[in-house]
Structure 1
Amino acid sequence: MFWWCNEVRPGVSVAFTDTGAGNLALHVGDNPAEVLARRVRVEQAAGLEGGKFQYMNQVHGNTVEFIDIHRAGPTADAMVSAVTVSNTAAQPLAVMVADCVPVVFVGNGADNEPVIAVAHAGRPGVASAVVPATVEEMRKHGAVDIRAWLGPSICGSCYEVPAELRDEVAALVPATWSATSWGTPSLDLPAGVRAQLEAMDVTVEYSGECTLEHNSLFSYRRDSRTGRFAGLVWTHD
């Protein structure tokens, strides 16, 4: 069910699912009823009593949405939530991937209440700075001492791309420049995200394994008809 799961501060947990949880995406041709049933099982495993994770319609952009109440999936590639003026708890958040970098954030807000966020950092998202945009949105909502967890994603030794594409992305985010283990051009998206977070003074607490190298994780490069696993963050008693 969970590839990695931890209570990262009192009352806040972060997790990344694996293939044991099944495909959690509605856009890959899977049976919608079965996908929704899997999402419920993940929510139950996380201990969400009657709550739901907020998913989004991810489009490889850099739009960040603030979520104060669960709603039909917004079109965005990052979401932020926090305690609202009506004292509603932060909305549990989810980001789906199958090689892109799922980034989960936790910061301290007013009265030490958590400000939480997720970001979908694929190649276009890294190049267009979706991760820095997410940090900026968290800070607009009072977050300080922000920490980040990078879930499993394809590594620089495996993510082969044309040389022109590597140069294009590395011109924007130099840390992404890489080569595969067999010597061809590649991009290291996790390294790029870590560099962006370091520049924003955000501490990286965890950086996950390579999706292509582990069959217990979905990988689009391994199989373009694959499902999606999720990065999750939620608050609890």
Structure 2
Amino acid sequence: MLPEDFGAGLLRVDLGAGVVAGFTTRHGGVSPAPWSSLDLSDGTGDDSARVQRNRDLLADWVGSPVAFATQVHGADVLELGPHERAEWSGAPPTSAGTADGLVTAEPGLGVGVLVADCVPVLLADATARVVGVAHAGRRGLVAGVVDEVVDRLLTRGAETGRLRAAVGPAVCGRCYEVPEQMRDEVTAVVPEAWSTTSAGTPGLDLPGAVVTRLVARGVATTRVDRCTMTDPDLFSHRRATAAGEVTGRQAGVVVLS
């Protein structure tokens, strides 16, 4: 399942019939530098009206409004339904609540995850008609956010043999340098994240670890293997910080059409 471009700046992935899913790039929006141009976060210092316009563009591309949570690098999961669909279809709130995972069985309500190096994970069971997203940064991965979203989908009727997952662009293990003690602490819980960077220093491979853990649970998983640190078409918090700049946030989004 290779991603294909549909709508300016959106990479589509196949998660089954009746499901629209994809990952945004930094292109196709209205924000000026340094957010250039599809900044989808209201927490980067970008103008709120521009961010809302960018979110409206995303909604046009996927055919529905998209709900986002306030992400705190934890493992809490929110379930969204008809009430939230009505809210996000009108004058949308800025956040669905505090969580790093969202799940819905509501057609016409997208759920999204905001990232700029962390791992965006999209999941869907097209037969059970339930979808979810996870924001898997270092702390969230250790806390078990991906497993929490999978478990919540299973309680809503999904089956692991039918679940499909897509792991989106994130900083790769060759670029994510961390102190050796941090690598030891993370890999004591998530051994699959162990990595050495291209410079030979301690690293963490978060997207690789997410893929490995999903596959181990029997979830068919595809990966958009693009590193945010080195790909100029993507936002990267680490790259921007190193340059003394601010940056926007891209998104992963999934919708029951």
Measured on the aligned residues, the alpha-carbon RMSD in Å equals 1.4
From 138, 143, 146, the equivalent of 1:123 is 138
Q: How does 1:4-153 map to 2 (within 5 A)?
A: 4-21=11-28, 22-46=38-62, 48=63, 51-69=64-82, 70=84, 71=87, 72=93, 73=95, 74-83=97-106, 89=107, 91-108=109-126, 112-144=127-159, 145-153=162-170
Q: Cα–Cα, structure 1 residues 82 and 19, in superposed 2: closer, same or farther, change >3 Å? A: same
- For 2:4, the equivalent position in structure 1 comes to none
Q: Per-residue deviation at 1:90?
A: 5.8
Structure 2: unaligned runs, 5 residues or longer: 1-7, 29-37, 88-92
Q: TM-score, normalised by structure 1?
A: 0.91
Kept in 2, the 8 Å contact 1:81–1:90? The answer is no
Letter of the aligned partner of 2:99 in structure 1? A
- For 2:35, the equivalent position in structure 1 comes to none
- For 2:256, the equivalent position in structure 1 comes to 235
Q: How does 1:150-229 map to 2 (within 5 A)?
A: 150-224=167-241, 225-229=246-250
Letter of the aligned partner of 2:55 in structure 1? R
- Give me the whole-angstrom Cα distance separating, in 2, the residues matched to 1:113 and 1:192: 26
Q: Cα–Cα, structure 1 residues 7 and 150, in superposed 2: closer, same or farther, change >3 Å? A: closer
> Which stretch has the larger CA shift, 205-214 or 170-179?
205-214
- Give me the whole-angstrom Cα distance separating, in 1, the residues matched to 2:72 and 2:176: 20
- Give me the whole-angstrom Cα distance separating, in 1, the residues matched to 2:222 and 2:120: 13
Kept in 1, the 8 Å contact 2:13–2:22? The answer is yes
Q: Per-residue deviation at 1:185?
A: 0.3
- Give me the whole-angstrom Cα distance separating, in 1, the residues matched to 2:223 and 2:205: 16
Q: Per-residue deviation at 1:104?
A: 0.3
Identical-pair percentage: 39
Kept in 2, the 8 Å contact 1:175–1:191? The answer is yes
Q: Per-residue deviation at 1:123?
A: 0.3
Q: Per-residue deviation at 1:206?
A: 2.7
How many corresponding residue pairs? 225
Q: Per-residue deviation at 1:3?
A: 4.4
- Give me the whole-angstrom Cα distance separating, in 1, the residues matched to 2:60 and 2:149: 27
Letter of the aligned partner of 1:37 in structure 2? R
Q: Per-residue deviation at 1:2?
A: 2.8
- Give me the whole-angstrom Cα distance separating, in 2, the residues matched to 1:79 and 1:8: 16
Letter of the aligned partner of 2:116 in structure 1? A
Letter of the aligned partner of 2:143 in structure 1? S
- Give me the whole-angstrom Cα distance separating, in 2, the residues matched to 1:32 and 1:127: 32
Question: 4+ residue stretches of structure 1 with deviation over 4 A?
Answer: none
Q: Per-residue deviation at 1:199?
A: 2.7
Secondary structure at the counterpart of residue 66 of structure 2: coil
Structure 1: unaligned runs, 5 residues or longer: 84-88
- Give me the whole-angstrom Cα distance separating, in 1, the residues matched to 2:154 and 2:49: 37
> Which stretch has the larger CA shift, 71-80 or 135-144?
71-80
Letter of the aligned partner of 1:4 in structure 2? L
Kept in 2, the 8 Å contact 1:90–1:116? The answer is no
Q: Per-residue deviation at 1:191?
A: 1.5
> Which stretch has the larger CA shift, 68-77 or 97-106?
68-77
